[in-house]
Structure 1
Amino acid sequence: MSVDDRFTENFRDAQQDTPLGTRNEIVTGPVSDWATDFSHLEPEWAADPYPILEDLRERCPIARTERFGGGWLPTRYEDVASIAYDTDRFSSRSIIMGNFRPPREHAPIGGSPPISSDPPFHHHARRLLLPAFTKTAVSRREAATREFCHALIDAFEGRPVVDAARDYAQHIPARVIADMLGFPPEDGPRFRRFIENVLEGVNLPPEQRIAAMDELFDYLQIQIRDHIDHPRDDLTGFLLDAELGGQKLQPSHVAGTMALLLIAGIDTTWSAIGASLWHLARTPADRERLVAEPGLLPTAMEELLRAYAPVTMARLVKDDMRWNGVDMRADDWILLSFPAANRDPAQFERAGEVVIDREVNRHAAFGLGIHRCVGSHLARMELRVALEVWLARVPEFGLADPEAVTWSTGQVRGPRKLPVRLG
């Protein structure tokens, strides 16, 4: 058996040996009291979580739930930041809160390094990826991204109503990440299915989740085999050749990082693009100002990221402890709501408003602490270019049917259906 054959065989073994974790009973259905029974999978949370978070911040800043085997939801910026920076008491070995917990022995690497990694391994896994996401590296992708955005809008010709989420926002990061990883650009629909299975399917029965993960890893194995057979200069090829401590990366490390880039690198950005277009479609004054003052867009973009931060991350409590007045148990979930932190009036003036010329804006949309998004430069470029092209080509647009807009459930929130009327 060749080295290449052993790699792909070990890749499959690594996937099979990485179970989803210990089953915990999960209860879905109406929430009795968000302070004691919260659930990020409920429709009212997906539709508009901000009133819920505001109410909790005022009367119960650290909410509790017994769903998902037990978890906590801090809503103040101070608490979210404190947990994000505290790697001694909180583990990142799983960042998706659901009905499974990975075994403790998965730390410090986790299933999707570096986002699932704890120190000291996290530092080395993150450094591997940094060169691909520098401002210089990202700038080389801007022209192709801009050209693709124009092509998407060209396809709107003759259509009075388009779905700004499915016809525009979702395609942009899918194409960029496919190009970075060296995956077929036409596989965007597959990526959307993978994303929905992983991020929105956390309450599915175990056999369905395992089948969905099998589909994802089967796809990744095919891409790895193709890269082994036809070596080329892309991020997948880099990961296959990369070393840590003088050793090639373990197949599970390569697989997990590829899955991370494919899932998180796409959904977070398409959600930010979609939410920004939703805001501009329903807020003519902001849309008209940005059309008239395109130089304001970089500032406005940061405010849209703050106000509609798409990402919430999870942590696991390492040991029983009392923390900020609550008794946390080992392996309790912590849901780190960066959207809640970004709307904390103790941190931001007019926190509940969208102020597109806000000058001081140290938001947490890309996370806090050691796990701050390694792809933030890429996400900002994609968001900026997507909005620049849209506003230049489609200066007048509005919601075709506000009631038809739907939002994703789970820990990445963005429009899934966004019908807008052009002109």
Structure 2
Amino acid sequence: MTVDDRFDPESQESQREDRPLGTRNEIITGPVSDWATDFSHHEPEWAADPYPIQDELRQRCPIARTERFGGGWLPTRYEDVAAIAYDTERFSSRSIIMSNFRPPRELAPMGGSPPISSDPPFHHDARKLLLPAFTKSAVVRREAATRAFCHQLIDTMEGQDVVDAARDYAQHIPMRVIADMLGFPPEDGPRFRVFIESVLEGVNLPPDERVERVEKLFDYLLVQIRDHVDDPRDDLTTYLINAELYGRKLEPSHVAGTIALLLIAGIDTTWSAIGASLWHLARTPADRERLVAEPGLLPAAMEELLRVYAPVTMARLVKEDMRWNGVDMKADDWVLLSFPAANRDPAQFDRAAEVVIDREVNRHVAFGLGIHRCVGSHLARMELRVALEVWLERIPRFGLADPAAVTWAPGQVRGPRTLPLRIG
């Protein structure tokens, strides 16, 4: 077997030494003085319940400002979120995690995790490479294994009165699906959780510690990639190693960055959506009982749960100084695209703050808008549907064991991290 020199460890180390890491800004956590002028999506009250804050901002100050993170903006109206999501001329995607670092402009147009971090025209071609793995037909082939795994998880709960539906159920489902797609060891699931927390929730760590945590992720990925170079198989990792763009194989940073994207975004978003859906059904007996009695209603209910509890918020960086919708944005200001806030805008949705599980027209934006709309939306919908179908079939009666014990992830992917449910 010929060794692929692109993934030689010494070559990778030299690349890392040359890779700029951006600049550190001020500490971003601490009490918020005024959400219109000092917002921070990493505060406990935002994690616990951001919706009243977003509703107030939408009425009072539709585009909030903060000096944290080195300066950023938070639009809360659907029309503003959509306008920015579609505007790739004035807003860059080279970093989609708002933090105390700004990646250098030289990383564009590819960014660190293509295609989600890529700007046009590179984005189109990088995204196109992934499409075959996420078609409806490709996703259907994974449904039986996903369903069997959900049953296995519930089998382990037998005899328990209280289970943590986030830690014992929701998180494991996308971990197993993504591990299978990438050809990674399924027993590495706990490591995936650590990687997710480091990348998405550790944005305010000291620079050295944050860099160290991210490097651990890429060290792990390089080991897996090297294993696939030596032992190719029919999975997404081998596909990316062999894929070509513009007549040559992908750069190592492209391969590793895309796999990091699939590992982080492919797990945390779906884990959060499953957990939030179970949380809602646990605290809303009428909806739970109706879905148990009318399982055919689940597809509509699922879309409504995605709308109301959309887990994902993405960031953009302003390309140049400009005045935009009445505010003066500076080059490299962050813009936080709150798809959850857009999904609850009463100007866009009737009864926007309510969960209407039989809502017929539901053009929500839980999977984003524009060129970066989630490439894995078919997969996420399958995982969410199967997870809820199996749970409601096996555990039709459940409720919150202790509402105060439910905790939510801070930051840009919001979902339950602990969800104790009383079952039976």
- After TM superposition, the score normalised by the length of structure 1 is 0.99
Which residue matches 1:222? Answer: 223
Structure 2 spans left out of the alignment, 5+ residues: none
Q: How far did 1:24 drift?
A: 1.4
- Native 8 Å contact 1:92 1:117 kept in 2: yes
Aligned to 1:7: 7
CA distance in 1, matches of 2:330, 2:181: 41
CA distance in 2: counterparts of 1:359 and 1:224, whole angstroms: 44
**CA-CA distance at 1:4 after TM superposition:** 1.9
Inter-partner Cα distance in structure 2 for 1:51 and 1:150: 37
Q: Give, in whole Å, the separation in 1 of the partners of 2:178 and 2:307.
A: 23
**1:274 matched to 2:275:** yes
Query: Given residue 311 of structure 2, which amino acid in structure 1 is its aligned partner?
Result: P
Q: Is the contact made by 1:306 and 1:364 (CA closer than 8 Å) also made in structure 2?
A: yes
- Which letter does structure 2 place at the counterpart of 1:274? G
- Contact 1:80/1:338, CA 8 A, preserved across alignment: yes
Counterparts of 1:241 and 1:219, CA distance in 2: 20
| Structure-2 change in CA distance of 1:405 and 1:333 (3 Å) | same
1:38 aligns with 39
**Distance in 1 (alpha carbons) for counterparts of 2:49 and 2:179:** 31
Give the aligned partner of residue 232 of structure 1: 233
Q: Using the alignment, how far apart are the partners of 2:19 and 2:297 within structure 1? A: 47
Corresponding residue number in structure 1 for 2:202: 201
Paired with 2:165 and 2:412, the residues of 1 have a C-alpha distance of 21
Does residue 366 (structure 1) correspond to residue 367 (structure 2)? The answer is yes
Q: Deviations over 1:43-86 (max 9, x none)?
A: 00000000000000000000000000000000000000000000
Structure 2 counterparts to residues 115-130 of structure 1, below 5 A: 115-130=116-131
Cα separation, 2, equivalents of 1:237 and 1:118:
25
Distance in 1 (CA, whole Å) between partners of 2:8 and 2:269 is 29
Partner residue in 1 for 2:61? 60
Contact 2:7 2:222 in 1 (8 A): no
Contact 1:8–1:224 at 8 Å: present in 2 too? no
Which residue does 1:248 correspond to in 2?
249
Query: Alpha-carbon deviation of 1:6?
Result: 4.3
Q: Deviations over 1:261-314 (max 9, x none)?
A: 000000000000000000000000000000000000000000000000000000
User: Which residue is 1:186 aligned to?
Assistant: 187
Counterparts of 2:418 and 2:20 in 1: how far apart (Å)? 33
Within 2, Cα distance between the matches of 1:215 and 1:17?
A: 17
TM-superposed deviation, 1:141 = 0.1
Question: Does the CA contact (< 8 Å) of 2:93 and 2:117 recur in 1?
Answer: yes
What is the distance in 2 between the residues matched to 1:227 and 1:113? 20
- For the Cα contact (< 8 Å) 1:398–1:420, is it kept in 2? yes
Number of paired residues? 423
What amino acid is aligned across from residue 19 of structure 2 in structure 1? T
Q: How far apart are 1:14 and its partner, in Å?
A: 3.5
The 1:234/1:11 distance shift into structure 2, 3 A limit, reads farther
* Shift of residue 27, structure 1, vs aligned partner: 3.2
SS at match of 1:236: helix
Partner of residue 411, structure 1: 412
Inter-partner Cα distance in structure 2 for 1:241 and 1:406? 42
| CA pair 242-64 structure 1, distance change in 2 beyond 3 A | same
Displacement after TM superposition at 1:17 (Å): 3.3
CA distance in 1, matches of 2:265, 2:13: 22
Contact 1:311 1:365 in 2 (8 A): yes
The letter of the residue matching 2:271 is W
Amino acid aligned to 2:323: R
**For 1:54 and 1:79, how far apart are their aligned partners in 2?**
14
Q: 2:59 is aligned with what amino acid?
A: E
Describe how 1:103-142 pairs up with structure 2 within 5 A.
Answer: 103-142=104-143
- What is the aligned-residue identity percentage? 83
Confirm or deny: 8 A CA contact 1:36 1:63 kept in the other structure. yes
Cα drift, residue 13 of structure 1? 3.5
